[in-house]
Structure 1
């Protein structure tokens, strides 16, 4: 064996992780389901900020590839419907959770994780951090992370299992962005959205979203699982993706670092 054997073994472990995740992503009982086409590992050290609505760069997606993301949950009445729609099509998504809601509905958070979805972070109470003092913003972020980690693992740590974060309202400050990057937490924006914070029918939302996707052709899509109109619209949107040959990409963090990794 040439080169550094530890580096070689670590690279092999990462490759095996990605291969296993890809295999899991393609498993589906329904042959005509949309499915999840591939898994994309997002490393905060190389992709600290993604999403063209907020930043100059986004994820390396091909034409007709989309990443489905949901904000502001969990909310039992609607999140359960969203999860069913995703399960029916064997699709995996990323949920940016409000810490307070996660602490009130921990069983729903664990259900999301058990179904293979990526669990990410969205503050404690959805406060706009642009208008908060840096120390208050840090508390809002950490309290949210701790609540989600407690729901998932019964451990109130501020070191997130999945180091993905999205700012409420996409409102950021240079100080908070820098703090998150130093902590190794990737900040997600979005490439397109359904504007589902506005009241509309599921049919109107579907039309708006598909028209935007026709123009963009790919990207990180922002939706909100607590919105009843989005939960009602989602099955039709997933069918649209299938019928129009879009492919769903599931984003995950890198595997945990080994002792050898940390020692280098």
Structure 2
């Protein structure tokens, strides 16, 4: 009987430990090392629109046209592989005045990736994006938001901030199928300093592309101004200096 109790206690401990690791890897506002930002604590009515994945020849210009028509600058977190395959689309994003971020080379989950693989994923993506001529800041967003020990350690050692998000309209599968639901969610849940995450570069993301104009128009109607991630972080630095 005692052996069974010990076994059950051990199993419970392992399950609790696993759940703790899972929660840590998914945490939006906490990591073991370095700087992480999911939202700026500010009184200013600003939001950062961030668009993950790509670029793709099929949809990059469509998205750029939507943003240009509404005079909005976004931050595009691009993968290294797709940036290397489609450098002209990277150049078009930069030429339109948008910010570009690093979203890893292969878009694989990086929570349990080796340090050497992490370095390769990030640095090869930096090279691919820089080869297009982009000279702006290159913040990093982990694929699926997954990070644990090695990834935050690498980023901290290289002075790079982990960029997460606090508004995710596509999180619910039912909402993600409806452009109207996506727009309503984003408009209702954005607050001062929010970072909004969306995916608009693939055929499967048609609802998100269709929702994008309504999201922008709705947030502007609420009085929000759109800024890039770097502009958002600059606001945080200014606030710290004032304190």
TM-score between the two structures when normalised by the length of structure 2? 0.73
The residue that corresponds to 2:97 in the other structure is 116
Higher share in helix: 2
2:58 partner SS: helix
1:101 equivalenced with 2:82 (yes/no): yes
Structure 1 unaligned regions, length at least 5: 1-46, 52-57, 154-159, 255-264
Map of 1:20-35 to 2, 5 A cutoff?
none
2:229 partner SS: strand
The residue that corresponds to 2:179 in the other structure is 202
Q: Which has the larger radius of gyration?
A: 2
TM-score between the two structures when normalised by the length of structure 1? 0.67
The residue that corresponds to 1:48 in the other structure is 35
2:100 partner SS: strand
Deviation readout 1:115-161 (Å, 9 max, x if unpaired): 111111000010101132221122112222211112235xxxxxx85
1:229 equivalenced with 2:236 (yes/no): no
Aligned pair in 2 of structure 1 residues 187, 80: CA closer, same or farther (>3 Å)? same
What CA RMSD, in Å, does the superposition of the two structures yield over aligned residues?
2.4
For 2:107, which of 121, 126, 132 is the aligned residue? 126
Give the count of matched residue pairs.
195
Mean Cα deviation higher: 115-124 or 193-202:
193-202
Cα distance in structure 1, aligned partners of 2:80 and 2:172: 20
For 2:227, which of 231, 249, 253 is the aligned residue? 249
- The answer as to whether partners of 1:196 and 1:223 remain within 8 angstroms in 2 is no
Shift of 1:211: 2.9
Aligned pair in 2 of structure 1 residues 82, 61: CA closer, same or farther (>3 Å)? farther
For 1:72, which of 33, 49, 53 is the aligned residue? 53
Shift of 1:112: 0.8
Cα distance in structure 2, aligned partners of 1:62 and 1:108: 35
The residue that corresponds to 2:167 in the other structure is 192
Map of 1:131-210 to 2, 5 A cutoff?
131-152=112-133, 161-195=136-170, 198=173, 199-210=176-187
